[in-house]
Amino acid sequence: MPAFNFQITPSGNPKFEPYISVNLLQPNIMVAVSTDNTSGVPQTGLYRSLDGGANWSVTLLPLPTGFTGAEAAAVSYKFPATFIVTAHVFPGTEGGTTVAYVSTDNGQTFGSPIIVGPGYGTYINNDETNLTVDNSQTSPFLGNIYVVYNHQFNVQNYSGSVAFLSRSNDGGNTFSPTTLLSNEKDIVERPDVTVGVTGTVYAGWITTNQESTFYIRRSFDGGITFENSPIRISSVVLVPKILPVPGYGFRVLTFANLSTDRSNGPNGGNIYAVWQDYRLGYSDIFLSKSTDNGTTWSTPVSITGAPQGSQNFFPAIDVDPLLGVVNVVYYTNRLDNFNLDVFTARSIDGGNTFVNQRITTTSFNPNGNSPTPVPLIGDYIDIESVAPGGYIAVWTDTRTGSETIFAGYNTDPVI
């Protein structure tokens, strides 16, 4: 059967970096976010669907007083009817700051922004937010919220960059003092965080200085403390910042992506790490998994089955919490080596094999109607499981001529 695509945002000023979350108890209720320039300045776009992604309401979350823009938003769901949105707001009198917005009515209304990680002028900028909620049925820390972000320090001098984590155990009303995850000597991009079946927290990042590496650290006490030594998942060959395709000008940053299998299936407890990698001489999506709570990791494998020389990038992963289906979404130019499509790689056998499916119903030029290469199409896209067995993905699409947020899924079964 064909894929189904739905336009979330109107055409016009650019919208990019979409992220989506689904109410596990009422999966027809979905909340998505993006960097939305509808007003002429970047703000956090907030989109809500009550019919499984077919129709969406569109609004903008308010900026905190003194701030002039927002970007790098993410959203996560918490039992029974809560959605939490994080974003990087800037510049303000104190510089780039990580904030959180909380809705307890399924995304209909959100409270005022809550400061998670304050910025301070040219000294501290907290960017590239990400988050997860502990919704594991066997976790003693059920309901904890974990926010990670890229903490940039001495911004106009040394430009250091580390991974930070902050947690909330009161529904997002307050956040704990921040934990430094990575080494201050390393440079990192956007970190990620996931929670295992018994509440173990896995926070991961990729170093982007010499000998780039994917690391995680674990917490067994609900994010209060983390193991001292990080665990190495894999070396990483960073993709070029601009992919070597004539006519491309948009940047491609390499981020960590993590998810856990919280199902009662045969692969329950597995942890999956995915990233884009240039080790084959082109950008491809690689996966490594752990079957022993993150202590050891499998040899990385390509999961796209894409033609040699094609460019496959911006992966995101989510695992179905009921069936354990592994869902990975990514951009690819595999069909004609220039125009972009969105594909998924899906596995029903614990990441041993993958079936790749096209989601987009039409390919699109990443430059839209621009006569010259655009410098940015956002830095990530997203996918969320719709249990049992489904998924919905969101991405930036230019089929209308401008950068617009689309959602889609494919009804073909994973065999």
pLDDT tens digit string along 80-93?
999 999 999 998 76
List the beta bridge partners of residue 170. Answer: none
Residues 143-175 have pLDDT tens digits of 999 999 999 998 777 779 999 999 999 999 999
User: Could you tell me which of 24, 93, 103, 92 has the C-alpha nearest to residue 57?
Assistant: 103
Q: Does residue 177 surpass a pLDDT of 90?
A: no
Token code pair at residue 255: 């981020």
Residues 240-267 have pLDDT tens digits of 999 999 999 999 999 999 999 999 999 9
Q: Tell me the C-alpha to C-alpha distance, in Å, between residue 386 and each of 28, 73, 86, 398, 409.
A: 9, 21, 22, 26, 10
Residues 349-395 have pLDDT tens digits of 999 999 999 999 999 999 999 999 999 999 999 999 999 999 999 99
Whether 133 and 141 have beta carbons less than 8 Å apart is answered as: no
Q: Does residue 414 surpass a pLDDT of 80?
A: no
Whether 260 and 271 have beta carbons less than 8 Å apart is answered as: yes
Residues 203-245 have pLDDT tens digits of 999 999 978 999 999 999 999 999 999 999 999 999 999 999 9
Residue range 3-410 forms a domain whose CATH class is: mainly beta
Cα-to-chain-centroid distance, residue 16 = 12
Domain ranges of the chain: 3-410
Tally of CB atoms within 10 A around 134: 25
For residues 80 and 331, give the distance between their C-alpha atoms in angstroms, rounded to a whole number. Answer: 33
pTM of the model: 0.97
pLDDT for 93 equals 66
